[in-house]
Structures are given as C-alpha cells and as structure tokens.
C-alpha cells in the first residue's frame, strides 16, 4: 500500500473517532441539562420547598428526581418470612407444659429472664430492618440450646434467617454471662450447704467437684490438644456444686486433653481454697484432728486438707464405708451434669462455634441450669432418656488417679474413716 493511502486511512479513522467523541459529549451534555431541569422543577415544587427549608434534599430524593430510581414507599429490608407461629401460637396459645417442654421453663420464668437480660439486649429499629424483640431473641437462643436442631431448622421455626439464629444465640449467651453469672452461680448460704451435706452423711462439706467433657468440632489450630482419652474433640467444664445440685463455681475452656487435676490446679477456685478464703473459717474437730470445710472429689483430684477423695487400692470395711459416704454425697455433681445436659441438649452434640465462643455458651447453660433449679422448674424424665441416647457417641473419658497427698490431709481422712465406723457401730 502506498504511504499516501496509509496516511489517508489513519486520518479517516482519527476524524471518525473525533466525531464519535463529539457526539458522545453532546449527548452527555443534553442528558445533564435534562436532569438539572428536572431537579429545578422538583425543588420548585411544594415538597421541594419544604426540603429546602429544612436540611436540604436527601440523596435518595435527588436520585428520584433525576430519574435514577423509581419513587416508592420505604420498607424495612428483610426476607419475607412468617412469624405467625411465634406471635400468635407460642405467645398466645401455648400452655405451661408446652413452654416447659420446649424452652425448659414456664412462661413466667421466661418473661422474668427476658426482663433481667433487657439492659444488654435492647435494640432499636433501623431504616433497613426492624429489630427482633427481646422475647423472640431469647426464645430463639433457648430453643437452639435445648435441642440438637440445626440453625436452618430453628430459623424456619421462628421465621428468621439462619444467620440471625447464630447471632441471637451469642447475644443472649453473652448477656446471660455478663449480667447473671456472678449473681446466679455463687456460693450462697454456706451453712445451709454444710447442713445439707451433713444430712447426707458427710460433715463440714461445702461442695462436690468434678469435670465433664463437652464435645466440639476440631479447631483449626492446635486441634490435637482438644482430643481427649476417648478420642473425640472436647472442652472441659469443671464445676463445684452444692447439696441441691446447683453450680456454685465453674471453670470452662480447657482443651479435652488436659487432666482434671491440672484444670483444677490452674483455677481460681484452687487458689482461694489453698489460701483458705473461699469458705468462711469454720472448723470442726474429728477425733483429735481439726478439719476445715472441705469439698469432695473423685480419685483424679489430689488429697488435700480441704479436699477429700476416696481410698483406692485394697479396701477394708472401714475404707469401703468412708468411700460409700463420700460417693453418696459426691453423686450430686454427676447428677447436676446430667440434668444440665438433658435440659440443654446442644451440649451433647459437637458444637460448631469457635473455641472463643464455646465457653460463653457453656457458662450460659450453667446459669440457665441454676435458674431452673432455683425456680423449681420441673425436670421431665423423658429428657434424660433422650440425653442418654445423644451422649452414647461421646462417653466421658476415664481419669487417671492422682496419688499425691499431704500428711495433714491423710490424718483428716483417717479421722473421718474412724468416725464413720464409730457412728455405724452406734446405729
């Protein structure tokens, strides 16, 4: 091709591009002038004058005027779901037995719980979404904690989104821990506890201690630390309970691989008992030995002056009697764990929460357990059957016996053994 022809073609393309750009700019200018004209007409209207006299037009109003969006009534943004079941059936129709069966408490206790949690759960409606009521959020959380149902199942039940269920559970659990843990999980009347255990056969006892494993999904980091002696991932809950099976002290969060004795030794409860400040100074004389207020543990715990545990190895009749008395009183903590998990069955299935959130939910369940016990809420026998079925796949690991003991502790245990034998002879 001749150079002159090439130059002519290039000039032709350049002229065409300039023409297209000119037409595009002209069209843009016309559109801009048309939008500005519509905006002036809008601002000169009665509604526009009202806006000018206040804070100026809102961006959405200007966009409507410019034709970018169609005018429409503002609505709360949310997926269309039905809440009739909660609003019209549960709140208005259900009787006390239905409340107890599904929320583990009567309606009056439920409403009292909502009132106690209201300072932390109050929410305001926004332009985008109407806030769930406190009652509905608490109900969602209790339903999820009381059943092994999936998030989707609970969401469909209450007419909310699946993510809303997860948010509600953590909001309510945090509120329970922040507002009620130190009020409900507390030592209370020590003398009443001592009298209660004395009536069961063990003198000057302030509680029974044990640990239980809560199954979880394997964490992404350091997952091996959470595998317990039964081979599944778990988190340890340590609890001290009174004679009525109510939690008076809890410690939760240690990985399942950790021995109960180590969990105990690293707890605040151990330090306060060691310092002699957990219980009031109340000593009794057994034989020729002074005995402080003690707690009862299984062989996994160390024998201390303030912690009595069973004899192990070869047992004579006196040791068997001592073990019987101790075991009879220590059973309250095992029963407490059983009732805790039967009420709040989510503790029996592997939790998919993060290791940071699982302790919050477990602690909240302990608070709810105490609240139900304090309020005298009925424990339905069918719950225990269902709990046994769910827990079959996650048996509690056996704990190795700890043989360490202090001389003073041995003397106290020997004195108690002799006293129990004397009392038996006098019967």
User: pLDDT tens across 152-177, in order?
Assistant: 999 999 999 999 999 999 999 999 99
CA atoms of 110 and 103, how far apart (whole Å): 8
Place of tokens 């330090």: 271
Query: φ, ψ for residue 254 (rounded to 5)?
Result: -70, 145
One DSSP character per residue, 189-240 reads -HHHHHHHHHHHT-TTEEEEEEEEEEEBPPPSSSGGGGB-TTSSBEEEEEEE
pLDDT for residue 145: 97
The number of residues in the chain equals: 427
Q: What is the pLDDT of residues 75-109, one digit of tens each?
A: 444 444 567 899 899 999 999 999 999 999 999 99
DSSP classification of residue 87? I
Taking 60 as the threshold, does the pLDDT of residue 3 lie above it?
no
Arithmetic mean of pLDDT, 390-408:
82
The overall average pLDDT reported for the chain is 86
Residues 358 and 351 sit within 8 Å (Cβ to Cβ): yes
User: Minimal CA–CA distance to 101: which of 143, 49, 161, 149?
Assistant: 143
Enumerate residues 6+ apart whose C-beta is below 8 A from 6: none
Judge whether 169 and 145 are in contact, CB under 8 Å.
yes
Residue-wise pLDDT tens digits, 345-398: 999 999 889 889 999 999 999 999 999 999 999 999 899 898 989 888 899 988
The SS3 call for residue 253 is strand
Segment 201-221 mean pLDDT? 94
Distance of CA 82 to the CA centre of its chain: 27
The reported pLDDT for the residue numbered 19 is 60
Contact between 135 and 117 under an 8 Å Cβ cutoff? The reply is no
Would strands 289-291 and 205-215 be described as parallel, antiparallel, or unpaired?
unpaired
Per cent of the chain over pLDDT 70 is: 81
d(C-alpha 17, C-alpha 135), whole Å? 66
CA of 60: how far to CAs of 37, 56, 57, 68, 238, in Å? 17, 12, 8, 9, 56
Cα–Cα distances (Å) from 292 to 21, 27, 194, 289, 321, in that order, read: 95, 94, 12, 10, 21
DSSP label of 399: -
């Amino acid at each position: 091709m001749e150079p002159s022809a090439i130059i002519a073609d290039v000039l032709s393309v350049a002229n065409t591009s300039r023409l297209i750009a000119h037409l595009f700019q002209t069209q843009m200018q016309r559109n801009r002038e048309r939008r500005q004209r519509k905006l002036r007409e809008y601002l000169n209207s009665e509604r526009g004058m009202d806006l000018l006299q206040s804070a100026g037009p809102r961006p959405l109003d200007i966009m409507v005027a410019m034709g970018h969006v169609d005018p429409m009534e503002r609505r709360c943004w949310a997926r269309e779901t039905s809440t009739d079941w909660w609003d019209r059936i549960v709140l208005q129709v259900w009787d006390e037995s239905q409340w107890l069966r599904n929320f583990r408490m009567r309606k009056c206790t439920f409403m009292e719980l909502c009132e106690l949690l209201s300072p932390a759960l109050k929410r305001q409606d926004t332009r985008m979404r109407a806030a769930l009521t406190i009652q509905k959020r608490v109900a969602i959380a209790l339903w999820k904690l009381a059943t092994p149902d999936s998030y989707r199942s609970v969401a469909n039940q209450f007419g909310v989104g699946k993510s809303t269920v997860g948010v509600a559970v953590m909001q309510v659990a945090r509120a329970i821990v922040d507002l009620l843990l130190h009020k409900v999980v507390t030592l209370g009347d020590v003398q009443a506890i001592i009298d209660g255990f004395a009536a069961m056969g063990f003198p000057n006892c302030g509680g029974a201690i044990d640990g239980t494993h809560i199954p979880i999904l394997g964490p992404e980091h350091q997952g091996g630390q959470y595998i317990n002696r039964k081979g599944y991932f778990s988190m340890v809950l340590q609890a001290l309970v009174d004679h009525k099976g109510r939690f008076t002290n809890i410690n939760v969060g240690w990985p399942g691989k950790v021995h109960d004795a180590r969990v105990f030794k690293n707890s605040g409860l151990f330090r306060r008992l060691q310092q002699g400040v957990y219980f009031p100074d109340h000593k009794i004389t057994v034989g020729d030995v002074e005995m402080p207020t003690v707690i009862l543990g299984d062989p996994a715990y160390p024998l201390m002056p303030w912690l009595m545990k069973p004899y192990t190895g070869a047992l004579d009749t006196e040791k068997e009697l001592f073990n019987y008395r101790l075991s009879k009183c220590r059973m309250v903590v095992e029963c407490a764990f059983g009732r805790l998990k039967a009420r709040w069955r989510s503790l029996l299935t592997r939790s998919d929460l993060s290791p940071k959130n699982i302790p919050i939910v477990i602690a909240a369940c302990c608070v709810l357990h105490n609240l139900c016990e304090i309020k005298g809420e009925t424990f339905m026998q069918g719950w225990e059957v269902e709990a046994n079925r769910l827990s079959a796949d996650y048996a509690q690991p056996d704990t190795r016996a700890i043989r360490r003991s202090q001389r003073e502790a041995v003397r106290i245990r020997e004195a108690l053994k002799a006293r129990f034998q004397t009392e038996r002879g006098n019967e």
